Amino acid sequence: MSSYVQVLGALPDLAKGLWVTLELTVLSAVTSFIVGHLIWWLRGRATPFWRGLGHLYVSLMRGVPSIVQLFIVFFSLPLIGLGGKPLLAAVLAIGLNSAAYVAEILRANYRSLPHGQSEASYALGLSAFQLWWYVSSPQVLRNSLPALVNEFTLVVKTTPLASVVAVTELTYAGQLVIARTFEATPVLMVVVAGYLLVCWPTLKLARGLERRFNRARSH
Amino acid sequence: MDWSAIVDNAPDLAVGLGLTLRLALVSACAALAFGAVLAWALQKGQPWLQGTVRAYIDFILGLPMLVLIYLLFFILPEYGITLSSPVVGVTALTLYYGPYMGELLRAAFAGIPRGQYEASAALGLRPFQALRHVLLKQALPVVLPPSVGLLIGLIKDTALLSVVGVEEFMYAAKQAISTSYAPLEIYLVVAIAYWLITLLLDSAAGCIERRLNRHRIA
């Protein structure tokens, strides 16, 4: 029983790890949202070069394992004088990877908008930015919401990767406790519970939004 | 940049890549079979079985792949189950991708009109014959594109097995880095190799898709 007391004593460490996981998730998700918009914009350019660049970005992010991407970012950062920052490397790697998927989500929903809208906006004399800000963006974001929430849970599930560059998020915190107490089963149970605690409500939210949107569309 | 590190370690990297491809192939087949069982259980199983399967799927959907790998690697030995690390790796991938594959199969078969099942029965086809001659031909074009996406995800996730010492591509890369200390060069080459595999799969899937849909009028 003493082993369980040891694990109980490690709970604050695990809670701290869960907090770092949440920080990592939010920072990565924000990065992903911003860069995702940029890539979406690139892929809509008329110039084949920029469009191709956007396409290449998505293809590379989709085709290379996240753990390889993380190591590439981790070993590239020192080249621009940002060495020894594992959290930054993790946020960039996870965020830039997810950005490709966010860009695809936004693009798919943008393409489902009726073409007449942009024609009407030009006829009304709206600039390209005004068209995006007042007309397209609100609809695209609203329609993308279920898929974006789903993408958020995928980001949560990618964060354990940060443990391989020694960011003390939930998984790595768990490993440290296991190394100290030699109690793998109870510690891993707590770690699993931590992830389910974050993922289940978000997954439920995504499903609820999807159902609501489908209902709205069928009326 | 020190590209000689690549040339020196090319044979070891190739061996690692070979294991990655074999791991992915075995896991993909196992996940397909497991997914089919899950889909069948959700459709035809007793209520208790359906409940169990649903709980299992929810469990997997909320769990990071890396944590599942650690679960199997740390907990199985505590209960006296010691398997070789590639076997545990294949098990982890199968357990993780089964539910996703099952969901694709379920959706595809649910999309086939009810009348097709009834017509097959009326023609006296046995369940297996109906599956082979009527249902599979309609489900396959629906299942194929998203399952290629899953397969790509599965291949990428084999790289995670390197953290528990499965000697696949990523592990070979780490070994090469520890002797040459040229991390960026080696990881870039590894990234390109994974990327090429993805491109190859995507184009192969495109060909098969066109062939499966060749009877349709464009």
Nearest chain A Cα distance for residue B101, angstroms: 17
Q: How many CA atoms lie within 13 A of B128 on its CB side?
A: 0
Given an 8 Å threshold on Cβ–Cβ distance, is A157 in contact with B198? Answer: no
3-state secondary structure chain B: CCCHHHHHHHHHHHHHHHHHHHHHHHHHHHHHHHHHHHHHHHHHCCHHHHHHHHHHHHHHHCCCHHHHHHHHHHHHHHCCCCCCHHHHHHHHHHHHHHHHHHHHHHHHHHCCCHHHHHHHHHCCCCHHHHHHHHHHHHHHHHHHHHHHHHHHHHHHHHHHHHHHCCCCHHHHHHHHHHHHCCHHHHHHHHHHHHHHHHHHHHHHHHHHHHHHCCCCCC
| pLDDT band for position A219 (cuts 50, 70, 90) | low
Nearest chain B Cα distance for residue A41, angstroms: 24
The tokens for B72 are 């199997």
Which of A68, A160, A203 minimises the CB distance to B66?
A160
CA pair distance A50, A38, nearest whole angstrom: 11
Given an 8 Å threshold on Cβ–Cβ distance, is B187 in contact with A68? Answer: yes
Count of domains forming chain A: 1
B78 has a chain A CB within 8 A of its CB: yes
List, as ranges, residues 171-210 from A with C-beta within 8 Å of B. Answer: 171, 174-175, 178, 184-185, 188, 191-192, 195-196, 199-200, 203
Q: Which residues of A touch B65 (CB under 8 A)?
A: 157
CA pair distance B105, B39, nearest whole angstrom: 7
pLDDT tens-digit map of A3-36: 677 778 889 999 999 999 999 999 999 999 999 9
Model ipTM value: 0.90
CA pair distance B192, B185, nearest whole angstrom: 11
Q: Which residues of B touch A62 (CB under 8 A)?
A: 152, 198
The CATH superfamily label for domain B4-212 reads MetI-like (1.10.3720.10)
Q: What is the pLDDT of residue B97?
A: 97
Given an 8 Å threshold on Cβ–Cβ distance, is B64 in contact with A171? Answer: yes
What string of pLDDT tens digits covers the 218 residues of chain B? 677 888 888 889 999 999 999 999 999 999 999 999 999 999 888 999 999 999 999 999 999 999 999 999 988 888 888 888 999 999 999 999 999 999 999 999 888 998 998 999 999 999 889 988 888 888 888 899 899 999 999 999 999 999 999 999 999 999 999 988 889 999 999 999 999 999 999 999 999 988 888 877 65
Minimal Cα distance from A198: which residue of B?
B62
* pTM beyond 0.80: yes
Q: Which residue has the tokens 């297996």?
A: B128
Closest listed residue to residue A62, CA positions, set B31, B203, B105, B202:
B202
Q: Which residues of B touch A199 (CB under 8 A)?
A: 61-63
Which of A60, A75, A195 minimises the CB distance to B184?
A75
Q: Give the other-Cβ count within 10 Å of A85's Cβ.
A: 15
Which of A67, A178, A195 minimises the CB distance to B64?
A195
The tokens for B216 are 């349709």
* CATH number, domain with residue A47: 1.10.3720.10
pLDDT tens-digit map of B42-89: 988 899 999 999 999 999 999 999 999 999 998 888 888 888 899 999
> What is the four-CA torsion angle of B5, B7, B9, B14, rounded to 10 degrees?
140
Q: Which residue has the tokens 């899937």?
A: B205
- Domain residue limits at A126: 2-218
